[in-house]
């Protein structure tokens, strides 16, 4: 079930696929897969010119050395369009959903532990207004302690049974806060200290993703529209429209300097925007065959993880200062570590190679 770096160097497939037993090679399967894969689209429009707008990249370099892959850690995909499935709190600690449980996986111990089973009754330990004791199948916001066991706060924020929470972002202003993107076309901002709702902002379409700028002043708002929005984090007022994508958007991430916003779209591109000039994107990065459904920057802004739903994980690095792009799904801390769930229900852990002139790496997973 596991593959070590030594086994990979000795020829074992890093995903554990026994190609020698199959009737085709990895390269032949890749060729067939590229021809047959159909990317999901909500909006039908001509896309022939899209490739011409994408930045040319140099290929054939290496950013990360393979260290370890396990297929014992399986993240559960509840909705095929919602792929923010991992959260790395350190370079060794990762949290993910597996069936009805929140799981913690340690790259040091190489084992997973159940943190919370959401199918059971959840009883919050603190008495805050709106906090409920219930199962999390109908709870849309739940906050766990960091330094002790138990759930501090749990509530349902939307009356509509189908208005699911699509994304959650944690931010820091004067106090830590939480912002949520919901299918009821609203973004909600909560105080993480007392769990009070600080703001509720309505938009014209279902909100699939939202993220707060590093200074806490701006909101990126993305959803069931080809346009993305920049809004005031205090009032929710729209300050700018980002035009260029051709389909619905599901991912966003701010560069740590607060000037660059990355957005991911079902048109298979990631666009980089300079908030000082929102008239057009400063760069368009092309995926391989699928939508860009998750994006993360490292804390120093040198790398960014860009997730496709199938097969490919591109790693890019720019010679300009804006950012570099790495693969899928969660990058943590000092940009030396990359964690990704594999398509074959596994988790892979890698360490950065210190190579400085690189533009792009292409890693393939099946």
Q: What is the pLDDT of residue 181?
A: 94
CB 140 within 8 A of CB 131: no
Q: How far apart are CA 104 and CA 96, in angstroms?
A: 7
Put simply, whether the predicted model's pTM sits higher than 0.75 gets the answer yes
User: Mapping DSSP to helix (H, G, I), strand (E, B) and coil, where does residue 321 land?
Assistant: coil
Q: What is the CA radius of gyration of the chain?
A: 20
Q: One digit per residue, pLDDT tens: the chain, 366 residues?
A: 789 999 999 999 988 899 999 988 989 998 998 889 999 999 988 887 887 788 877 777 777 788 888 888 888 888 888 887 888 888 889 998 888 888 999 989 989 999 888 788 777 666 655 555 554 444 444 565 555 667 777 777 877 777 788 999 999 877 889 999 999 999 999 998 888 889 999 999 999 999 999 999 999 999 999 999 999 999 999 999 999 999 999 999 999 999 999 999 999 999 999 999 999 999 999 988 899 998 988 888 878 878 888 877 666 664 443 333 333 455 544 444 555 544 444 555 443 332 222 234 444 555
User: What is the per-residue DSSP string for 214-283?
Assistant: TTS-EEEEEESSS-EEEEETTT--EEEEE----S-EEEEEE-TTSSEEEEEETTSEEEEEETTBTTS-SE
Could you state, in order of their start, the residue ranges of all structural domains in the chain?
2-117+164-364, 118-163
Q: How far apart, in Å, are the Cα atoms of 62 and each of 272, 314, 316?
A: 23, 11, 10
344 in Cβ contact with 311 (< 8 Å): no
From the list 118, 163, 113, 119, the residue with the least C-alpha distance to 144 is 118
Cα 281 from Cα 271, distance rounded (Å): 6
Cα 162 off chain centre by = 22
**Structure confidence at residue 15 (pLDDT):** 87
Cβ atoms of 39 and 311 closer than 8 Å = no
pLDDT at 80: 85
* Contact between 73 and 103 (Cβ < 8 Å): yes
What are the distances in angstroms from CA 198 to CA 12, 140, 207, 243? 52, 17, 18, 29
Q: Which CATH number applies to 2-117+164-364? A: 2.130.10.10
Q: What is the pLDDT of residue 84?
A: 78
DSSP-derived secondary structure for 86-129: EEESSSSEEEEEETTEEEEEETTTTEEEEEEETTS-B--SS--T
């Amino acid at each position: 079930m596991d593959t070590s770096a030594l086994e990979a160097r000795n020829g074992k497939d890093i995903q554990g696929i026994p190609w020698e037993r199959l009737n085709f090679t990895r390269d032949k399967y890749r060729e067939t897969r590229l021809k047959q894969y159909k990317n999901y689209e909500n909006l039908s429009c001509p896309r022939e010119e899209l490739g011409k707008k994408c930045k040319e990249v140099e290929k054939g370099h290496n950013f990360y050395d393979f260290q370890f892959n396990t297929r014992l850690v399986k993240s559960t995909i509840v909705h095929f369009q919602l792929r923010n499935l991992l959260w790395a709190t350190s370079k060794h600690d990762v949290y993910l959903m597996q069936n009805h449980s929140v799981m913690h996986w340690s790259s040091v111990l190489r084992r997973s532990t159940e943190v919370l089973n959401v199918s059971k009754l959840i009883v919050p330990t603190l008495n805050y207004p709106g906090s409920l004791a219930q199962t999390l199948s109908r709870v849309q916001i739940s906050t766990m302690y960091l330094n002790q066991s138990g759930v501090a706060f749990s509530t349902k924020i939307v009356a509509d049974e189908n208005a699911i929470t699509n994304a959650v972002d944690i931010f820091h202003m004067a106090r830590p806060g939480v912002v949520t993107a919901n299918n009821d076309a609203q973004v909600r901002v909560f105080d993480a200290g007392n769990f009070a709702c600080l703001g509720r902002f309505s938009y014209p379409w279902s909100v699939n993703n939202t993220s707060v700028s590093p200074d806490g002043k701006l909101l990126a708002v993305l959803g069931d529209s080809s346009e993305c929005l920049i809004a005031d984090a205090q009032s929710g007022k729209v300050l700018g429209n980002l035009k260029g994508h051709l389909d619905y958007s599901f991912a966003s991430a701010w560069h740590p300097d607060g000037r660059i916003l990355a957005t991911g779209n079902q048109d298979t591109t990631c666009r980089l925007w300079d908030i000082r000039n929102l008239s057009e994107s400063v760069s368009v990065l092309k995926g391989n065959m699928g939508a860009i459904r998750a994006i993360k920057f490292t804390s120093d802004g040198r790398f960014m993880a860009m997730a496709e739903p199938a097969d490919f994980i591109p790693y890019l690095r720019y010679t300009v200062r804006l950012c570099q792009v790495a693969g899928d799904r969660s990058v943590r801390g000092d940009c030396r570590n990359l964690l990704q769930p594999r398509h074959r229900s596994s988790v892979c852990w890698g360490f950065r190679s210190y190579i400085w002139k690189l533009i792009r790496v292409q890693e393939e997973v099946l």
